[in-house]
C-alpha cells in the first residue's frame, strides 16, 4: 500500500449524515450495530474512501456510491444471500456480474436495488457484494440474464486495500 493516503475523523454532523444514509440503504441501524459512541474515520485511497467505524473498515465509497465491505460481518450475517455454484466463483471473484444460470438459491427478502451478499454453495463464504437487479420473487424465477451487479468482491482493489489497512490498525 502506498504511503500516500490521508486519514482523518469525520465531524459528528458529517458522521451522522453518513450513518443515516448508509443505515437507510443497508436497512440496518448502524448505531444499533455499534451500540457505543460511533467514531467515523476516513481513509482516502486514490480509488475509494474507506470508512472505519470504531476502527473497523465497514463502508467504502467509490464514484458509484457507498457500500458495505466484505469484512462488515454484522451486515453479512443479516443480509439477503445469493448462493452460487462453484463454477461461478472464479468469474465473480474477477468482477463478473452474477448471472441467473449460476444461482443455486436465493435467501432472504429484498427489493430491486438492495445490497445482497453472494456466497459459494459449498461453504457459504461471502465472495462478493452486489446490487440486486430484481425483487426477491422475480430473482427466484429468473432463468437468464444478470441478477446481481457486482459492486465489491474478494481480491478487488477495495478488498486488497482493506486487508493491508487491517495490518496497520
pTM assigned to the model: 0.93
- What is the Cα–Cα distance from 44 to 154, expressed in whole angstroms? 20
Predicted confidence at residue 18, as pLDDT, reads 95
Predicted confidence at residue 85, as pLDDT, reads 97
Predicted confidence at residue 37, as pLDDT, reads 83
Predicted confidence at residue 169, as pLDDT, reads 67
- What is the Cα–Cα distance from 81 to 9, expressed in whole angstroms? 32
Predicted confidence at residue 3, as pLDDT, reads 55
Predicted confidence at residue 20, as pLDDT, reads 95
Predicted confidence at residue 5, as pLDDT, reads 82
CATH-assigned architecture of domain 6-69+157-168: Roll (3.10)
For residue 53, pLDDT over 80 is answered with: yes
- What is the Cα–Cα distance from 98 to 58, expressed in whole angstroms? 23
For residue 1, pLDDT over 70 is answered with: no
- For 3-52, the pLDDT digits (tens) are 578 999 999 999 999 999 999 999 999 989 988 789 999 999 999 999 99
Question: What's the whole-number average pLDDT of the chain?
Answer: 94
For the chain, strand residue ranges (E) read 6-9, 40-44, 49-53, 56-62, 65-68, 81-84, 98-99, 103-107, 115-120, 126-132, 146-153
Instruction: Quote the percentage of the chain above a pLDDT of 90.
Output: 89
For 152, other C-beta atoms within 10 Å of its C-beta total 24
Instruction: Quote the percentage of the chain above a pLDDT of 70.
Output: 97
For residue 2, pLDDT over 60 is answered with: no
Q: Are 31 and 80 in contact (CB under 8 A)?
A: no
For 132, other C-beta atoms within 10 Å of its C-beta total 22
Domain boundaries, the chain: 6-69+157-168, 75-153
Whole-angstrom CA distances from 103 to 47, 80, 137, 154 are 30, 14, 14, 18
For residue 91, pLDDT over 70 is answered with: yes
Q: Are 116 and 136 in contact (CB under 8 A)?
A: no
Q: What would the mean pLDDT of 69-80 be, rounded to a whole number?
A: 96
State in words which class domain 75-153 has: mainly beta
Amino acid at each position: 500500500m502506498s504511503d500516500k493516503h490521508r486519514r482523518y475523523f469525520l465531524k459528528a454532523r458529517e458522521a451522522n449524515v453518513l450513518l443515516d444514509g448508509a443505515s437507510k440503504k443497508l436497512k440496518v441501524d448502524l448505531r444499533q450495530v455499534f451500540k457505543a459512541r460511533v467514531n467515523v474515520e476516513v481513509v482516502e485511497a486514490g480509488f475509494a474512501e474507506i470508512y472505519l467505524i470504531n476502527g473497523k473498515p465497514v463502508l467504502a465509497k467509490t464514484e458509484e456510491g457507498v457500500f458495505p465491505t466484505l469484512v462488515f460481518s454484522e451486515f453479512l450475517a443479516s443480509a439477503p444471500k445469493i448462493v452460487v455454484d462453484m463454477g461461478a466463483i472464479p468469474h465473480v471473484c474477477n468482477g463478473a456480474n452474477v448471472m441467473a444460470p449460476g444461482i443455486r438459491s436465493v435467501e432472504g427478502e429484498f427489493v430491486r436495488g438492495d445490497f445482497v451478499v453472494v456466497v459459494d454453495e459449498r461453504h457459504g463464504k461471502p465472495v462478493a457484494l452486489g446490487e440486486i437487479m430484481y425483487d426477491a420473487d422475480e430473482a427466484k424465477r429468473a432463468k437468464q440474464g444478470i441478477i446481481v451487479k457486482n459492486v465489491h468482491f474478494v481480491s478487488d482493489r477495495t478488498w486488497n486495500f482493506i486487508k493491508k489497512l487491517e495490518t496497520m490498525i
